[in-house]
C-alpha cells in the first residue's frame, strides 16, 4: 500500500496520459498494471504508467482483472467501458465512469457548487463564464499554435472574429440556457465550415453516426475530452449530474459542460486535419493527446471549474477570513 500511496503524489492536473485500449486484457503483474495483447509469435505485455494516467477507456474485446482495478483505483485512475473508437457502448451521448472510491474526498468545491446550483440565475452566470473561457481558449490556441497556423487556421480570420464577437454578445445577453445552447451550436457550425474549407476537406455535415473520417475523429476526440472532464470533476469532488448547460437531456452532463471548454480549440481542427491526411485512428488519438498536453487542457478545466465554484458559491464569513 505504501507504493500505491506514493502514486498519488502526481497531481491529476499534471498527468500526461489517457489510454484507449481494444482487444487486450488489463491485469496486474509484479506490482504494475499491464495490458496483454496476443500476437502470432508470442503474447506481449505493455506497461500502463498509472501514476501519470488520468483515465482508461476500455473498448471492444477488452477485459480487466480485479487486481488491476484495485491498483487503478488506488492511483486515482478513472475507468470507462466503451465501444469501438471510444464511443460508449449503449448510448452515443453518454459515458459511464467507474470512479475510484476513497473515504478522503475534497468537499470544498462540491459545497460551493451546491450553494449556487439551485439558483437558476447563478447557474446561467456560470454557463456564461464557461462559454467565455471556451472562446478565449479557442482564440489563444488558434492564434499561437504553429502547427495549426501552418494549416492556415487562425482565429484572426475576419469571419471567425466576427462569429466569436457575435457569440460573445449573445452569451452576455442570454436570458436562459436555451439561448446559450443556440449561440454555442451556431458558432460550432461556423467552425466546422471554416476548418473544413481551410484544410481542404470538402463538404461536411456533422452526424454523430456518420461514417466519414471527420465525423469519426470528432466522436473519438470528444470522448477523450470527456475523459479529462470526468477526471477533473472526480478530483474536485463535484458530482457529474449538477450541470449548468446540458443537463435537461443528458445525465451526468456536467462532464459535457466542462469538456466544452477545450473541445473546439483542440479536437475540432485536428479531426479535420487528420481526416484530410487520411490518418489512422491511432495517429489522430496521439495528435489529440499531444495537443492536450502541449496546451495544458487539464489545467484549463481545473482552474475554470474551481473558479466557477468559489466565485459563485462560497462567500467566506469574517471569522473564516480573519481567523481567531
* Residue in this structure with the C-alpha cell 451550436, named with its chain if needed: 185
User: For residue 319, what pLDDT is reported?
Assistant: 34
CATH of 2-98, one of 3.30.10.20, 3.40.718.10, 3.40.309.10, 3.100.10.20: 3.100.10.20
Instruction: Tell me, yes or no, if the two domains 2-98 and 108-312 fold the same way.
Output: no
User: For residue 59, what pLDDT is reported?
Assistant: 85
pLDDT 10s digits, 136-178: 999 999 999 999 999 999 999 999 999 999 999 999 999 999 9
CATH of 108-312, one of 2.40.30.10, 2.60.40.10, 1.20.120.920, 1.10.569.10: 1.20.120.920
Which residues sit opposite 47 in a β-bridge?
34
User: For residue 75, what pLDDT is reported?
Assistant: 85
The list of the chain residues with pLDDT below 50 reads: 1-4, 89-95, 103, 315-324
Going across the sheet that includes 78-81, the strands are 17-21, 53-58, 78-81, 97-98
pLDDT 10s digits, 182-221: 999 999 999 999 999 999 998 999 998 888 999 999 999 9
User: CB-based contacts of 204: which residues, under 8 Å, 6+ apart?
Assistant: 192, 193, 196, 212, 214, 272
The predicted model scores a pTM of 0.75
User: For residue 218, what pLDDT is reported?
Assistant: 96
* Residue in this structure with the C-alpha cell 472562446, named with its chain if needed: 135
Domain boundaries, the chain: 2-98, 108-312
- Alpha carbon distances (Å) from 140 to 14, 179, 225, 262: 20, 25, 18, 11
User: For residue 281, what pLDDT is reported?
Assistant: 92
User: For residue 93, what pLDDT is reported?
Assistant: 35
Amino acid at each position: 500500500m505504501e507504493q500505491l500511496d506514493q502514486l498519488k503524489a502526481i497531481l491529476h492536473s499534471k498527468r500526461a496520459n489517457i489510454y484507449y485500449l481494444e482487444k487486450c486484457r488489463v491485469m496486474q503483474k509484479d506490482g504494475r498494471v499491464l495490458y496483454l495483447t496476443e500476437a502470432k509469435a508470442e503474447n506481449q505485455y505493455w506497461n500502463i504508467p498509472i501514476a501519470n494516467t488520468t483515465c482508461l477507456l476500455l473498448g471492444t474485446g477488452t477485459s480487466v482483472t480485479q487486481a488491476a482495478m484495485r491498483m487503478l483505483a488506488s492511483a486515482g485512475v478513472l475507468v470507462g467501458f466503451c465501444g469501438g473508437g471510444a464511443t460508449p457502448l449503449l448510448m452515443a451521448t453518454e459515458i459511464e465512469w467507474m470512479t475510484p472510491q476513497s473515504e478522503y474526498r475534497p468537499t470544498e468545491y462540491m459545497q460551493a457548487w451546491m450553494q449556487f446550483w439551485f439558483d437558476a440565475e447563478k447557474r446561467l452566470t456560470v454557463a456564461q463564464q464557461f462559454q467565455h473561457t471556451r472562446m478565449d481558449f479557442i482564440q489563444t490556441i488558434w492564434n499561437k499554435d504553429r502547427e495549426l497556423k501552418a494549416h492556415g487556421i487562425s482565429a484572426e480570420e475576419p469571419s471567425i472574429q466576427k462569429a466569436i464577437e457575435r457569440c460573445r454578445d449573445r452569451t452576455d445577453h442570454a436570458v436562459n440556457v436555451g439561448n446559450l445552447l443556440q449561440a454555442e451550436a451556431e458558432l460550432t457550425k461556423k467552425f466546422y465550415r471554416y476548418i473544413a474549407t481551410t484544410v481542404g476537406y470538402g463538404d461536411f455535415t456533422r452526424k454523430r453516426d456518420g461514417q466519414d473520417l471527420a465525423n469519426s475523429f470528432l466522436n473519438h476526440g470528444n470522448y477523450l475530452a470527456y475523459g479529462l472532464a470526468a477526471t477533473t470533476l472526480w478530483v474536485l469532488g463535484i458530482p457529474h449530474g449538477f450541470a449548468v448547460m446540458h443537463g435537461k437531456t443528458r445525465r451526468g452532463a456536467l462532464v459535457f459542460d466542462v469538456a466544452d471548454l477545450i473541445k473546439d480549440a483542440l479536437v475540432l481542427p485536428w479531426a479535420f486535419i487528420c481526416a484530410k491526411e487520411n490518418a489512422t485512428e491511432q495517429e489522430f488519438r496521439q495528435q489529440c493527446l499531444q495537443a492536450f498536453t502541449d496546451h495544458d487542457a487539464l489545467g484549463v478545466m481545473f482552474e475554470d471549474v474551481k473558479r466557477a465554484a468559489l466565485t459563485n458559491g462560497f462567500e467566506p464569513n469574517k471569522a473564516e477570513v480573519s481567523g481567531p
